[in-house]
Amino acid sequence: MAKRTRITRPYPTHSFQETVPIAETIQRVNGGLPVETELLAEALGTSARSSSFIQKLNASSKYGLTVGSYSDDFIQLTELGESVTAPGSAEERENSILEAVTRPEVFCEFYRIYAGKRMPEDIYASNTLVRELGVPRELTEECLGIIRRNGLVAGIVSDQAGVLVVGAVADSEEAGYYAGAETSRDVRDQGSPEDNEGRSAGIGEILVVGTAEDSIRVEVVGLLGGLSVACRTVNLDGTEGRIISQELSEALGSARGCVLVWPRDPGPDSERTQDPSIWAALGAMSYRVGQRLVVVLRDGGDTSTNPAESDPVTTVIRAEPGESVYPKLMGALVQSGIVRISVG
């Protein structure tokens, strides 16, 4: 009988999201200090000798999150692992994830090769992995899957109207670092003008727009903060004679998505009408981010002025009195493509 040849993978065997629980567990059970390998495995619901734990531990090391193997007494976080699991800001976590997923040389070089281009069909991407990056042919499907998942989580790969586009990776002395540049004109021109005009899918902040002191806007910011998503609040009031405030105009330049908390209806007994600047803001956000826009309406609002009627692409949810807006908002964020959830 012929002896089976063991295939060595020149890349982590698990995606970043499948691996990061190791670093998160160290942070949770021991405040980021080194943890005994056996205890770490137990905290993860497995044993230190299980193949899954060993593979994920090796992957964690290759992503630069931890130091130590299953045969070591302790596993400890690296400086990068600390930044991912206990960041000082959402921006620090985002940048740290970008750095981690470009640490493995195969992944980083693949992103560099296709920077500013569409993700190729599997057959061509597989050929690149084999010919340029030395990945065995039988492993290319697995490797591509991890590359896609990591890229989407980190923002290196963006989904533009069903087309996966690779961003730019800047040179560095270590494995790599994502530059976060806006999609190149060559890539945008490959789609239709309707799909591309005024829209990009960078890794910028999510704008939460509404009136000051709005309780629902506070809930929205709280949800995004809990997801460690970088967001920025912008007030609708204070346009100072402009149809759109200067702050909103500037913020839209780098926004990756928007949540507009529709102001409270003046009511039937009021002679006031909705400020036209609100509709101008809605139009500007829809033009800039396309379908990555969610509008939150209050129950009892005037349905004759429903923002959904002005732009059928916009995702609209209604905040019911006395109920948390979180469940509906979470579904809307995923549906609109503002937030992605990967299942490991």
Q: What is the pLDDT of residue 119?
A: 87
Prediction pTM value = 0.53
Q: What is the pLDDT of residue 308?
A: 52
Q: How far apart are CA 149 and CA 15, in angstroms?
A: 7
Residue type present at position 176: G
The answer to whether 75 touches 29, Cβ cutoff 8 Å, is no
Q: Which two tokens stand for residue 279?
A: 């509709």
Q: Which two tokens stand for residue 13?
A: 């065997």
> Exposure of 257 by Cβ count < 10 A (0-12 exposed, 13-18 middle, 19+ buried)?
buried
In this structure, the strands spanning 293-298 and 315-319 are parallel
For domain 206-335, give the CATH number: 3.40.50.360
pLDDT per residue of the chain (344 residues) written in tens, 0 to 9: 555 566 788 999 999 989 999 999 999 999 999 999 999 999 999 999 999 999 999 999 999 999 999 999 999 999 999 999 999 888 888 889 999 999 999 999 999 999 888 888 999 999 999 999 999 999 999 999 999 989 888 888 887 766 788 876 544 434 344 443 333 333 333 333 333 333 333 346 788 988 877 788 888 887 777 766 778 888 876 555 566 777 787 777 777 789 998 887 655 544 444 566 778 888 888 877 778 889 988 765 544 455 655 555 678 888 877 777 788 888 888 888 787 654 44
If residue 329 lies in a helix (H) or strand (E), which one and from where to where?
Answer: helix 326-335
Q: Spell 191-221 as b/e; 16+ CB within 10 A means b.
A: beeeebeebbbebbbbbbbbbeebebbebbb
Q: What is the pLDDT of residue 299?
A: 65
What is the tens place of the pLDDT at every residue in 87-145? 988 888 888 999 999 999 999 999 999 988 888 899 999 999 999 999 999 999 999 99
For domain 16-87, give the CATH number: 1.10.10
Q: How far apart are CA 158 and CA 154, in angstroms?
A: 9
Q: What is the pLDDT of residue 155?
A: 84
The answer to whether 179 touches 167, Cβ cutoff 8 Å, is yes
Domain boundaries defined on the chain: 16-87, 102-196, 206-335
Q: How far apart are CA 141 and CA 149, in angstroms?
A: 12
